[in-house]
């Protein structure tokens, strides 16, 4: 198959998943064309069957807000026509599903039947999609997609509920991980992160409010009172300053390390003893899966997509959003008991391999593509 993939190219789980999917599809013999405003951050070298097409946005002086979505639709249209793509697979609804819908309908008007698959990742539905500026176009664009997928049952249900879109057929295809890359046996150098005897507690995110960074810092403050530990924070975003201020206020700055944005985290996760993800919402929590594959138990929030990723009491512990005391207690109990920790660590890796290894998940996308390509009369998910 010849597939066009559009995603956010910078840091973030949706771009990471889209890129790994494209690379995995290319390894399975498909031709993959990435279409975005920059090269996806995990696409670093030339790979057979993988191409990148940059969207050029004209900065005409009249445009106070250059219309990226239109430029994207035009590039999707051009690339699909020229390269004879079979389908466009867009990740994150806004603006990608909208641009994909325009491109597909332009192609159809010219007699070329191309399919549009949209994968919902989380905040495109729960935050951006609920913003009055984007709500109606989000709903319209997802309804116009030929197939919709969501990265968890939690996100599928939220989409049905928040958009009152009971007739939207949404297939759940979970995120995946390459277990060869996320493997703690592969990497050395723990001494770079912590002193001997110290536990390494880790968090990786875009430091947005939805991640509840203050809960994370308060949780760690409780943990380090009970045992020697260091908090390693990877990523950057609007809440980072708040995190630094709170750590200083709690007198734990010396135990908290900010590493900033990094392209690859497998070698860091390999040295973590515990991963913390106290998010308000999390459609899936790709980084929690990457932690599990690396043999790192996870403590996070229940009532989110993490319920489908973490096996409660086996690979980690989940507690209600904001229950810092309970999350800290779970963290301490795991870190303080080496035998228990080793059991959780093995189970975490096993769970990642058995349920979320890329070789298991990528065929689900291929099956969906085959299905939609056979569906000659498709004109949107709610029309079925
Ligand atoms: O966390 C974010 O806001 C970034 C967003 C993204 O586009 O990368 O993450 C979402 O997609 C990831 C990949 O599917 C999921 O693992 C994250 O859980 C999801 N984030 C939220 O739902 C908050």
What single string gives the DSSP state of each residue in 122-141? SHHHHTGGGSTTTHHHHHHH
Strand 298-301 with 316-319, pairing: parallel
Centre of ligand 1 to C-alpha 97, Å, is 16
Q: Are residues 200 and 326 in the same domain?
A: yes
Q: Are residues 367 and 337 in the same domain?
A: no
Residue ID of nearest Cα to ligand 1 atom 3: 123
Centre of ligand 1 to C-alpha 169, Å, is 21
Q: Are residues 156 and 197 in the same domain?
A: no
Distance CA(357)–CA(348), nearest Å, equals 12
**Residue 349, token pair as written in the block:** 């890796």
Q: Are residues 167 and 244 in the same domain?
A: no
Centre of ligand 1 to C-alpha 206, Å, is 9
**Residue 11, token pair as written in the block:** 């840091």
Does 136 reside within a domain?
Answer: yes
| Residues whose CB is less than 8 angstroms from the CB of residue 220 and which lie 6 or more positions away in sequence, other chains included | 201, 229, 231, 252, 255, 256, 276
Strand 2-6 with 274-277, pairing: unpaired
Does 22 reside within a domain?
Answer: yes
Centre of ligand 1 to C-alpha 286, Å, is 7
Distance CA(34)–CA(6), nearest Å, equals 6
Q: Which domain holds residue 239?
A: 184-356
What is the value of pTM for the model shown? 0.94
Measured at the CA of 168, the angle between CA 174 and CA 153, to 5 degrees, comes to 30
Does 381 reside within a domain?
Answer: no
φ, ψ at 319 (rounded to 5°): -135, 160
- The verdict on the CB of residue 361 being under 6 Å from ligand 1 is no
Does 338 reside within a domain?
Answer: yes
Q: 283 and 172 in contact (C-beta within 8 Å)?
A: no
Q: Say how many domains are in the chain.
A: 2
In DSSP notation, 13-44 reads HHHHHHHHHHHHHHHTT-EEEEEESS--TT--
Q: By C-alpha distance, which of 266, 239, 283 is closest to 92?
A: 283
Q: Are residues 150 and 123 in the same domain?
A: yes
Residue ID of nearest Cα to ligand 1 atom 11: 121
Centre of ligand 1 to C-alpha 92, Å, is 9
Task: Report the pLDDT value the prediction gives residue 384, as an integer from 0 to 100.
Answer: 39
Distance CA(361)–CA(307), nearest Å, equals 18
Does 380 reside within a domain?
Answer: no
Four-point Cα dihedral 242, 243, 247, 249, nearest 10: 10
- The verdict on the CB of residue 118 being under 6 Å from ligand 1 is no
Q: Are residues 157 and 294 in the same domain?
A: no
Q: Are residues 136 and 201 in the same domain?
A: no
Per-residue pLDDT of the chain (384 residues; tens, 9 = 90+): 999 999 999 878 999 999 999 999 999 999 999 999 999 887 888 889 999 999 999 988 999 999 999 999 999 999 999 999 999 999 999 999 999 999 999 999 999 999 999 999 999 999 999 999 999 999 999 999 999 999 999 999 999 999 987 668 999 999 999 999 999 999 998 889 999 999 999 999 999 999 999 999 999 999 999 999 999 999 999 999 999 999 999 999 999 999 999 988 999 999 999 999 999 999 999 999 999 999 999 999 999 999 999 999 999 999 999 999 999 999 999 999 999 999 999 999 999 999 999 999 999 999 999 999 998 766 667 543
């Amino acid at each position: 198959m010849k597939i066009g993939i559009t995603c956010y190219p910078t840091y973030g789980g949706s771009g990471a998943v889209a890129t790994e999917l494209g690379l995995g599809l290319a390894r399975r013999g498909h031709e993959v064309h990435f279409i975005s405003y920059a090269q996806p951050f995990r696409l670093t070298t030339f790979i057979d069957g993988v191409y990148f097409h940059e969207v050029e946005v004209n900065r005409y002086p009249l445009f106070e807000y250059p219309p990226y979505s239109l430029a994207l639709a035009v590039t999707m249209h051009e690339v699909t026509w020229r390269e004879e793509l079979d389908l466009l697979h867009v990740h994150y609804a806004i603006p990608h599903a909208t641009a994909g819908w325009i491109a597909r309908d332009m192609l159809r008007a010219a007699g070329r039947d191309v399919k549009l698959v949209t994968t919902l990742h989380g905040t495109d539905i729960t935050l951006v999609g609920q913003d009055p500026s984007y709500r109606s176009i989000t709903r319209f664009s997802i309804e116009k997609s030929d197939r919709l997928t969501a990265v968890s049952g939690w996100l599928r249900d939220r989409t049905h509920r928040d958009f009152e879109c009971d007739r939207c057929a949404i297939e759940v295809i979970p995120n995946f991980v390459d277990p060869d890359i996320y493997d703690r046996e592969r990497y050395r150098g723990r001494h770079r992160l912590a002193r001997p005897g110290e536990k390494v507690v880790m968090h990786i995110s875009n430091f947005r409010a939805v991640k509840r960074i203050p809960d994370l810092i308060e949780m760690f403050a409780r943990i380090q009172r009970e045992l020697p530990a260091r908090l390693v924070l990877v990523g950057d975003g609007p809440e980072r300053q708040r995190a630094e201020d709170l750590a200083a206020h709690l007198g734990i700055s010396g135990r908290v390390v900010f590493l900033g944005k990094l392209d690859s985290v497998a070698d860091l996760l390999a040295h973590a003893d515990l991963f913390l993800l106290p998010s308000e919402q999390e459609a899936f929590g790709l980084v929690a899966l990457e932690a599990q594959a690396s043999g790192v138990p996870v403590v996070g929030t229940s009532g989110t997509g993490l319920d489908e990723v973490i096996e409660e009491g086996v690979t980690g512990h989940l507690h209600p959003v904001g229950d810092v005391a309970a999350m800290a207690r779970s963290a301490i109990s795991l870190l303080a008991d080496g035998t228990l920790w080793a059991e959780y660590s093995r189970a975490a890796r096993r769970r990642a391999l058995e349920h979320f290894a890329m070789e298991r998940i990528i065929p689900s996308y291929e099956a969906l593509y085959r299905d939609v390509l056979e569906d000659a009369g498709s004109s949107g998910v709610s029309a079925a």
